[in-house]
A and B are shown apart, each in its own frame.
Chain A
Amino acid sequence: MIELEDVSVSYGDRPVFGDVSLNLPQGSFHFLTGPSGAGKTTLLRLCYLARRPDRGRVSLFGEPAAALDRDGVSALRRRVGVVHQDCQFVDHLSVAENVLLPVMVSGGDVAAAEADMKDLLSWVGLDHAAERLPTELSGGERQRAALARAVILSPDVILADEPTGNVDWEMSLRIIGLLVELNKLGKTILCATHDLSLIRQVKSRTSARVLRLRSGALELAGSDL
């Protein structure tokens, strides 16, 4: 679904990672971990084409990203659901409208999608908050609303950047549980988190693999986790 081949990224003179390769097959579940500043967010940004690599090749759904124009990037983004670390809401729109935003921008039938939106809000436990503004939500509620928005177009791939960054342990487990449910529906998941204890807790219940970014390289974590 998503393939990174020998990609390198640097910010100015500071290299973030070099010659990293990653292949996310359909239906896979990967955690991406590593210390702060290791480049987890940058790697995710490569995956939804918010950044181009300095070197190397990125492909989404078999299409090389380098060949895409801006409209092509927009079209591919609609096939990838992203839960951003800071949620990225439009603050004057209600939670319901924010969840429907991908439908609106894709020219879909908003009225027809309202039933899906209600189901999704119910699934993430926010059916009571549909008319509230994002600023009125708690950290956990915001992350769950962002997850609902990420899956409204039923994308094949879901990328989550520290979705449990600002929530308590119970809520973290609940959010990861939602990702596990999506994976069981056949969705490809890549979830960046620095919370190793959370990974340990969830890993035993899933077939998730753990990737670790360290010292500019990406490696598969094993029993040393």
Chain B
Amino acid sequence: MLSGGDQSVERIVPRSGFTMTLTLAAAAAMAFLAVFVAAVAGGADRLADAWEDSLTGTATVRAPVALGDGDALAQALGQVLDQTPGIETRRRIGTDEQAALLSPWFGDEIPLDLLNLPVLIEVTLTDEGPDAEELTDRLRAVSPEAVYDDHGQWQAPVQAAASRLRLLALTSLLVIGLITAAVLALAANASLAANGRIIDVLRLVGASDRFITRLFVRRFAVRAAAGAAIGSLIGLLAVLAVPAPDAATGAPGVGFSGAGWSWPFIVPVLAAIIAYGATRAAAARRLRDIS
């Protein structure tokens, strides 16, 4: 007739009904969004890192040169750089490489023999880096118009943009988290309101507040966790389905890396905790109104 004590107690709160479906669907939808936004935020963070990395730790030495004197000047400048503390490596950007940089503007048929291309040396810096002023003086002793460019003029705006990008990603995650909490709280309230008669009957037959709260909290926390797990899985599949970025661009794509992979597992747990708290609060409010 009855399938056992605990299972009978579990049946007191209906397993189906629109509020149960609402909780499941709301948790799934919000978890999907949370996982996807976390993946986008991870991508944004890596993009910001890439921007900063591309400008920090490197510098360029540029010196105009008369036709045909490039190699000798590059060698002289290289000797200065080799003797400078804070310079880790140096590499001359050759004529072909410079032509490739210019080709988007001038096409592939650049008459290199007619152009007076400067000597360009890309250097990587140690963490401390060189004394820029002193290095510039020494380079100008070799070539009076030599320029040491530590990319400082680009770093500030790129770092500001990267910082804003990270802030935007974090804000998006926070907003999704708050909306998830609000939606689950609304679902819990709607369910408690829809099941108000059950709560009344339980009180009338002698149920304690703790018993009633536990019944609803358990049901909704489990339901929210199940919905969030489904949503997280779909979110994870959606993230994996996003095409990888073109390797040539080096741009990081949408996705997780490192500890970021824990998001799809954390979201259902967070949803259950939020549903637990929201249902407890809603049950306490409802029980306050009945004797």
User: Given the complex, which residues of B lie within 8 Å of A73, measured CB to CB?
Assistant: 291
User: Contacts A52-B291, A97-B2, A114-B2; is A70 near B9 (CB within 8 Å)?
Assistant: no
- Judge whether A96 is part of the interface by a CB distance below 8 angstroms: yes
Q: Are B1 and A130 in contact (CB under 8 A)?
A: yes
User: Contacts A49-B291, A97-B8; is A114 near B1 (CB within 8 Å)?
Assistant: yes
- Judge whether B207 is part of the interface by a CB distance below 8 angstroms: yes
User: CB-CB contacts of B1-42 with A at 8 A, as 1s and 0s?
Assistant: 110110011011010000000000000000000000000000
Interface-centre pick from B200, B208, B287 (highest chain A CB count, 10 A): B208
Q: Are A104 and B208 in contact (CB under 8 A)?
A: no
Contact of B206 among A78, A89, A114, A130 (CB under 8 A): A78
Interface residues of A in 160-177 (CB under 8 A from B): none
User: Contacts A50-B291, A51-B291; is A105 near B202 (CB within 8 Å)?
Assistant: yes
The count of residues in chain B whose C-beta lies closer than 8 Å to any C-beta of chain A is 25
Q: Are B205 and A77 in contact (CB under 8 A)?
A: yes
Closest to B211 in A: A105
**5 additional A-B residue pairs with CB within 8 Å, beyond A71-B208, A109-B5:** A84-B204, A90-B201, A100-B2, A102-B205, A110-B8
- Judge whether A111 is part of the interface by a CB distance below 8 angstroms: yes
Closest to A118 in B: B1
The count of residues in chain A whose C-beta lies closer than 8 Å to any C-beta of chain B is 38
Give the number of A-B contacts (CB < 8 Å): 81
- Judge whether A92 is part of the interface by a CB distance below 8 angstroms: yes
Whole-angstrom CA separation of A93 from B8 in the bound complex: 9
- Judge whether A122 is part of the interface by a CB distance below 8 angstroms: no
User: Given the complex, which residues of B lie within 8 Å of A82, measured CB to CB?
Assistant: 204
Whole-angstrom CA separation of A130 from B207 in the bound complex: 22
Whole-angstrom CA separation of A127 from B101 in the bound complex: 92
Closest to B290 in A: A50
Whole-angstrom CA separation of A49 from B12 in the bound complex: 23
Whole-angstrom CA separation of A1 from B135 in the bound complex: 101
Nearest 3 interchain pairs by C-beta: A110-B5, A105-B207, A78-B206
User: Contacts A101-B201, A105-B202; is A70 near B208 (CB within 8 Å)?
Assistant: yes
Contact of A93 among B12, B203, B208, B287 (CB under 8 A): B12
User: Given the complex, which residues of B lie within 8 Å of A93, measured CB to CB?
Assistant: 11-12
Q: Are A75 and B201 in contact (CB under 8 A)?
A: no
User: CB-CB contacts of A36-76 with B at 8 A, as 1s and 0s?
Assistant: 00000000000011111000000000000000001101110
User: Given the complex, which residues of A lie within 8 Å of B65, measured CB to CB?
Assistant: none
